[in-house]
Structure formats: structure tokens, C-alpha cells
């Protein structure tokens, strides 16, 4: 049986998803604004966030909320917090690319103990609760068992207009392309983490993500038997500058490969 709080997240996500799907079907008519270079916010994004805020506040009015668009809402001293991304993959959404999701995490005393990622296009509901494993709907999922870089497919987020980290990424990509079976850039960090947890990708790395991008995904990967850290292997991936998620068999080899790329960049400077 799923924990009650997962059911709350599920219900809230599905209500927001109905709004998103409606807008996705009429994406060419959306009123779009810019909040930064190539970082779009749509009316669809705002509507979905408002639905999630309303549903989650109604379920647990004593929780604070950390929302992508609205920031921190509620009692800053609350021991429980919702961490919410109403639309991860906004650029995909606005270009009618059907790869985006809703991500919700529940943190208790600063530790994420439940999380969900919902892909409304494919109707895939990924969830995890600390100590209870990770699931798609009611089916248990595990990270891949691959242990060879030559068999591994990795995912990442390549920096774009207005984002930093381009030089670091360009130092890493040649090594990753040389030693692995492939690299994918699908445009939703939360779904990338969910796919690592489900064994579809063998690893994921990226720079410059925010807590709402990764909070639920980190828990889901760990509960699926995976490992998550920053690229140095010791920092806080949820609030740090980088993230690496993979299975235990590939964790060291992928980390070493990425760090080698960074060292090569420093030598060339």
C-alpha cells in the first residue's frame, strides 16, 4: 500500500496535469513571457503551480512550500515542506515536445522522505518513500545493473543561451562520447532522474540545477538502489552546483571520467 502522503501528491499532480495537457494541446495560443534568457514561463506553468499550491495547502496547511515560480511560501520555521516543480521541461512544453513532468517532494526537518514525478503524456507515475523502495505506479523499479562504461547510456543537460557551464560540458562530452554507448539530452532533469531509477539510463549528470528540479528524483534514485552526489562525490546534490546519479557499479568510473574532463579543461587554461 502506498503511504497516504503519496496519494495526496498523486491527486494534486493529476489535477495539475489535466490543466497542463489542456494547454499543451493548444500550446501555440499560450501567452508566454520571459524571466531570463531562454528560460520561459507560460501561463500553463502558473496555472499548474496554483493548482498544486491549493491542493497541497488544503491537505497539509502546516507545511511550507518551496515553489519554482513563487519561491518560499508559509512558515519558514515549519518542520515539513513541499518542494514543487509544476512543469519540468518548460521549453519542451512550449515547443510541443511531449516530454515534461510534475515533480513534488516532501521534506521533513530538511530531509526528503517522499517524492513523486508524474509524466502526464505517458501516464507514468514514479514515486518513492524513504525505506520503502521506488515504484512506477505499483511496480517496483531498480537502477540498471550495467557495470561497463562501454554499455552505458548517460543523460545530461547541455547548457544553452544564458546559462553557464558550457566550457565544463565541452570538456566532459568528448570523453563521455568516447567511452560510453551514448549520451541523451531530453530536457527534463526530473524525468532524467526517474529514468535512472527505472534502469532506462545508466547515469545522469548536470550543473546548476535547483532543489525543485531534483529533490524528488534524488530520493527515487536512491530508493531504487542508486547513488547520488555532486560531481566531487561528497557534496549535497540537492543544493549544490552539480549532480551525478547512477548505479553503484558505474558510480566511480563515471565520476572519474567526468572529473578527468574537468582536469583537462584546467590544464588547457
Percent over 90 (pLDDT), the chain: 76
Residue 224 has pLDDT above 70, yes or no: yes
The pLDDT of 101-109, averaged and rounded, is 98
Three cell numbers at 168?
Answer: 565544463
Buried (b) or exposed (e) across 170-179, using 16+ Cβ within 10 A? Answer: ebbeebbeee
* Least confident among 14-23, 125-134, 136-145, 258-267: 258-267
Split at pLDDT 50, 70, 90, the class of 198 is very high
pLDDT over 80 (residue 37): no
User: What's the average model confidence in pLDDT over 189-215?
Assistant: 96
Q: Judge whether residue 7 has pLDDT over 80.
A: yes
Architecture label for domain 149-268: 3-Layer(aba) Sandwich (3.40)
Task: State the average pLDDT over residues 119-123.
Answer: 98
Classify strands 203-207 and 101-108 as parallel, antiparallel or unpaired.
unpaired
pLDDT of the residue at 4: 97
pTM of the model as a whole: 0.94
d(CA 224, CA 183): 22
Label each residue of the chain as H, E or C. Answer: CCCHHHHHHHHHHHHHHHHHHHHHCCHHHCCEEECCCCCEEEHHHHHHHHHHHHHHHHHCCCCEEEECCCEEECCCCCCEEEEEEEEECHHHHHCCCCCCEEEEEEEECCEEEEEEEEECCCCEEEEEECCCCEEECCEECCCCCCCCHHHCEEEECCCCCCCCCHHHHHHHHHHHHHHCCEEECCCCHHHHHHHHHCCCCCEEEEECCCHHHHHHHHHHHHHCCCEEECCCCCCCCCCCCEEEEECHHHHHHHHHHHHHHHHHHHHHC
pLDDT digits (tens, 9 = 90+) for 241-265: 899 999 999 999 999 999 999 887 6
At 182, the pLDDT band (50, 70, 90 cuts) reads very high
- Reply yes or no on whether the pLDDT at 173 is more than 90: yes
Q: What is the pLDDT of residue 42?
A: 84
Q: What is the rounded average pLDDT for all residues in the chain?
A: 92
* pLDDT of amino acid 30: 76
Q: Which fold has domain 4-140?
A: Fructose-1,6-Bisphosphatase; Chain A, domain 1 (3.30.540)
How many angstroms separate the CA atoms of 51 and 132, rounded? 28
Q: Look at residue 210 and tell me whether its pLDDT is greater than 80.
A: yes
Q: Is pLDDT of 187 > 80? A: yes
Per-residue pLDDT, 161: 73
Mean pLDDT on 144-169 = 89
Q: Where are the domains of the chain?
A: 4-140, 149-268
Cell of 193: 532522474
112, 149, 117, 147: which is closest to 14 by C-alpha?
Answer: 117
**C-alpha distances in Å from residue 41, one per residue of 2, 34, 37, 185, 221:** 33, 6, 11, 21, 28
User: Given this chain, do its domains 4-140 and 149-268 carry the same CATH topology?
Assistant: no
Flag whether pLDDT at 268 surpasses 70.
Answer: no
Q: Which of 87-96, 161-170, 223-232 has the lowest mean pLDDT?
A: 161-170
Contact 172, 262 (CB under 8 A): yes
Amino acid at each position: 500500500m502506498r503511504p497516504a502522503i503519496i496519494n495526496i501528491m498523486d491527486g494534486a499532480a493529476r489535477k495539475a496535469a489535466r490543466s497542463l495537457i489542456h494547454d499543451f494541446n493548444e500550446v501555440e495560443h499560450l501567452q508566454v513571457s520571459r524571466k531570463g534568457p531562454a528560460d520561459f514561463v507560460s501561463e500553463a506553468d502558473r496555472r499548474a503551480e496554483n493548482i498544486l499550491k491549493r491542493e497541497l495547502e488544503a491537505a497539509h496547511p502546516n507545511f511550507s512550500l518551496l515553489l519554482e515560480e513563487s519561491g518560499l511560501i508559509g512558515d519558514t520555521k515549519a518542520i515539513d515542506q513541499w518542494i514543487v516543480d509544476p512543469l519540468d521541461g518548460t521549453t519542451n512544453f512550449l515547443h510541443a515536445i511531449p516530454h515534461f513532468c510534475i515533480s513534488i517532494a516532501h521534506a521533513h526537518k530538511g530531509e526528503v522522505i517522499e517524492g513523486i514525478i508524474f509524466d502526464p503524456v505517458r501516464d507514468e507515475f514514479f514515486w518513492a518513500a524513504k525505506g520503502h523502495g521506488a515504484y512506477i505506479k505499483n511496480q517496483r523499479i531498480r537502477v540498471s545493473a550495467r557495470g561497463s562504461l562501454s554499455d552505458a547510456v548517460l543523460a545530461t543537460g547541455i547548457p544553452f543561451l544564458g546559462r553557464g557551464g558550457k566550457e565544463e560540458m565541452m570538456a566532459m562530452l568528448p570523453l563521455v562520447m568516447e567511452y560510453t554507448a551514448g549520451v541523451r539530452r531530453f530536457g527534463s532533469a526530473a524525468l532524467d532522474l526517474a529514468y535512472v531509477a527505472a534502469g532506462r539510463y545508466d547515469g545522469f549528470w548536470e550543473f546548476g540545477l535547483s532543489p525543485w528540479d531534483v529533490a524528488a528524483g534524488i530520493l527515487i534514485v536512491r530508493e531504487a538502489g542508486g547513488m547520488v552526489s555532486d560531481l566531487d562525490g561528497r557534496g549535497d546534490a540537492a543544493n549544490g552546483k552539480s549532480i551525478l546519479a547512477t548505479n553503484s557499479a558505474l558510480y566511480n568510473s563515471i565520476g572519474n571520467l567526468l572529473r578527468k574532463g574537468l582536469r583537462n579543461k584546467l590544464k588547457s587554461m
